[in-house]
């Protein structure tokens, strides 16, 4: 009976250890599929089971072996490679300090030595479980996290309650027949903490995903409406262009008959009409032309100029709403950042073209902040205004991924550069 209880508890402690290591490494790096990593995990699990069978108290050698195995796991199973060694060492230092502190607190209670060691082992695991989880939340610090902090604080009730039950149960153990029940209880407490945190993580991720989907759908609807309106503007422009040609023919005739006053009045009228809506983009692609011309009108009011190099066909195999979301968000972000900059010359560069069966869109704008990147060069966040456009950037990324494309964000010579590629092949 006692052996069965021990086996159940030791197995649960090993599961808790594996969860802690995995959650911690996922905080810094992404997992990768590797058969050798599975072997390393298996070896680590067997080793931890052996440690638990032998009283669960770590010695210097068991600690060293554990560190080596976790380093091996991090190299084979995560994209951090050798760079993750420092994080692994930090984990074990924190773990060691937690066990020392827990052992000190447990010794304040009049428990038998075996019960004291087991209680310290269980409670230190619970502390590490919640500690690693909270650390991962703080480290990643998602800007679009919708769950209030108070609910995260509410999670503390789970480990606190678990620790209280564990200490109380250990203190009350008197007979052998109580032990199996206690072992099962402790196993349940450990698994309960892990399950609750995993469920909470999934709920949080789902909230964020639903929020992003809602914003994306909203942008799609807005862009669909705007695209139709912009099409009408362009159609009117092209219709009026033909009218102006006809008027020029009339003017030519008036000049030939030397009716100068009539010519001057009509020319003034044409100039006035042209000033109502300056069209800097006339590629033939109605969606792109409409977007850029409308955004240019907005930018011009703010004292911002556009420099465009656009070489695209009149028709693209891309949904116009998707195209509108990409170009619209990129230009909105560029206009807002440029408006708030202190540069004497405020100009946004727009480059578009088709290269190797992909649509390439590059938008450059003056930039006074700085991009923060991790050790692998991945964008974390930016100072000043960029972080406020998270959902806009996310929408751009989603559209790019839809077309098997990519989004690259860089800082170069005091310019913020976003490059979007969308694959046109097989569409």
Residue 387: what pLDDT?
39
* 299 and 207 co-located in one domain: no
Print burial letters for 309-332: b (CB count within 10 Å at least 16), e (below 16): ebebeeebebbbbbbbbbbbbbbe
Of 163, 180, 214, the domain-final residue:
214
Q: Is residue 241 in some structural domain?
A: no
* 19 and 156 co-located in one domain: yes
Residue 422: what pLDDT?
94
Per-residue pLDDT band at 231 (split at 50, 70, 90): low
Bridge partners of 350, per DSSP, are: 308, 363
User: Are the C-beta atoms of residues 297 and 277 closer than 8 Å to each other?
Assistant: yes
Residue 358: what pLDDT?
92
* Cα Rg of the chain (Å, integer): 32
Per-residue pLDDT band at 223 (split at 50, 70, 90): low
Q: SS3 letters for 229-267?
A: HHHHHHHHHHHHHHHHHHHHHHHHHHHHCCCHHHHHHHH
Q: How far apart are CA 240 and CA 320, in angstroms?
A: 24
Q: Is residue 248 in some structural domain?
A: no
More confident residue, 18 or 237: 18
* 188 and 314 co-located in one domain: no
Q: Is the pLDDT of residue 263 over 80?
A: no
* 291 and 189 co-located in one domain: no
* 292 and 402 co-located in one domain: yes
- Residue 156 phi, psi dihedral angles, 5° rounding: -60, -25
Q: Is residue 56 in some structural domain?
A: yes
More confident residue, 378 or 426: 426
Q: Is residue 326 in some structural domain?
A: yes
* 290 and 417 co-located in one domain: yes
* 84 and 194 co-located in one domain: yes
Q: Is residue 233 in some structural domain?
A: no
How many CB atoms neighbour CB 186 within 10 A?
A: 27
Q: Is 242 exposed, middle or buried (0-12, 13-18, 19+ CB in 10 A)?
A: exposed
Q: Is residue 135 in some structural domain?
A: yes
Concatenate the DSSP letters of all residues of 313-360 into one string: -S--SS-HHHHHHHHHHHHHHHHHHHHT---SS-EEEEEEEEETTEEE
Of 186, 214, 242, the domain-final residue:
214
Lowest-pLDDT range, 276-290, 306-320, 383-397?
383-397
Tens-digit pLDDT profile for residues 74-94: 888 887 777 788 888 988 888
Per-residue pLDDT band at 419 (split at 50, 70, 90): very high
CATH code, domain with 291: 3.30.565.10
Q: Is residue 249 in some structural domain?
A: no
* 48 and 159 co-located in one domain: yes
* 40 and 162 co-located in one domain: yes
User: Hunting for tokens 């033909």 — which residue is that?
Assistant: 242
Of 156, 190, 214, the domain-final residue:
214
The model's pTM: 0.55
Out of 48-57, 107-116, 288-297, give the one with best mean pLDDT.
288-297
Work out how many domains the chain is built from and give that number: 2
Q: Is 132 exposed, middle or buried (0-12, 13-18, 19+ CB in 10 A)?
A: buried
* 309 and 206 co-located in one domain: no
Bridge partners of 9, per DSSP, are: none
Q: How far apart are CA 408 and CA 247, in angstroms?
A: 48
* Parent domain of 420: 283-427
Tens-digit pLDDT profile for residues 307-348: 999 999 888 888 877 888 888 889 988 998 898 888 888 999
* 117 and 15 co-located in one domain: yes
Tens-digit pLDDT profile for residues 121-164: 788 888 888 888 878 877 765 444 555 556 666 666 776 777 66
Q: Is residue 65 in some structural domain?
A: yes
* 201 and 334 co-located in one domain: no
Out of 104-113, 185-194, 321-330, give the one with best mean pLDDT.
321-330
Q: How far apart are CA 382 and CA 372, in angstroms?
A: 6
Q: What is the mean pLDDT of the chain?
A: 76
């Amino acid at each position: 009976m006692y052996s069965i209880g021990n086996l159940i508890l030791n197995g649960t402690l090993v599961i808790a250890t594996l969860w802690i290591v995995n959650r911690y490494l996922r905080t810094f790096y992404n997992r990768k599929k590797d058969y050798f990593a599975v072997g390393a995990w298996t070896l680590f699990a067997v080793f931890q089971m052996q440690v638990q069978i032998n009283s669960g108290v770590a010695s210097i050698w068991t600690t060293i072996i554990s560190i080596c195995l976790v380093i091996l796991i991090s190299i084979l199973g995560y994209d951090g490679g050798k760079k993750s060694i420092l994080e692994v060492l930090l984990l074990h230092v924190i773990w060691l300090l937690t066990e020392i502190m827990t052992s000190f607190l447990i010794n304040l209670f009049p428990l038998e030595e075996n019960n004291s060691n087991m209680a310290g082992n269980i409670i230190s695991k619970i502390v590490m479980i919640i500690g690693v989880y909270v650390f991962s939340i703080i480290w990643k610090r998602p800007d679009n996290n919708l769950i209030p902090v108070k609910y995260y604080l509410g999670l503390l009730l789970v480990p606190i309650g678990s620790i209280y039950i564990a200490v109380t149960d250990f203190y009350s153990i008197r007979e052998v027949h109580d032990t199996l029940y206690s072992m099962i209880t402790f196993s349940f407490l450990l698994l309960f903490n892990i399950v609750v945190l995993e469920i909470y993580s999934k709920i949080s991720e789902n909230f964020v995903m639903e929020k992003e989907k809602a914003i994306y759908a909203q942008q799609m609807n807005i862009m669909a409406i705007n695209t139709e309106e912009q099409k009408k503007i362009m159609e009117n422009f092209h219709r009026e262009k033909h009218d102006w040609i006809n008027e020029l023919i009339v003017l030519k005739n008036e000049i030939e008959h030397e009716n100068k006053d009539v010519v001057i009045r009509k020319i003034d009228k044409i100039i006035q009409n042209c000033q109502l809506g300056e069209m800097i983009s006339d590629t033939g692609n109605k969606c792109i032309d409409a977007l850029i011309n409308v955004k240019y009108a907005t930018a011009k009011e703010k004292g911002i100029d556009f420099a465009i190099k656009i070489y695209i066909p009149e028709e693209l195999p891309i949904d116009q709403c998707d195209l509108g979301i990409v170009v619209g968000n990129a230009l909105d972000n560029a206009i807002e950042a440029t408006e708030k900059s202190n540069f004497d010359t405020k100009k946004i560069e727009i480059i578009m073209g088709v290269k190797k069966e992909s649509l390439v869109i590059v938008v450059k704008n003056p930039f006074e902040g700085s991009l923060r990147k991790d050790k692998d060069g991945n964008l974390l966040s930016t100072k000043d205004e960029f972080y406020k456009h998270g959902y806009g950037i996310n929408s751009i990324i989603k559209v790019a991924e839809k077309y098997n494309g990519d989004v690259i964000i860089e800082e170069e010579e005091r310019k913020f550069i976003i490059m979007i590629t969308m694959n046109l092949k097989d569409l």
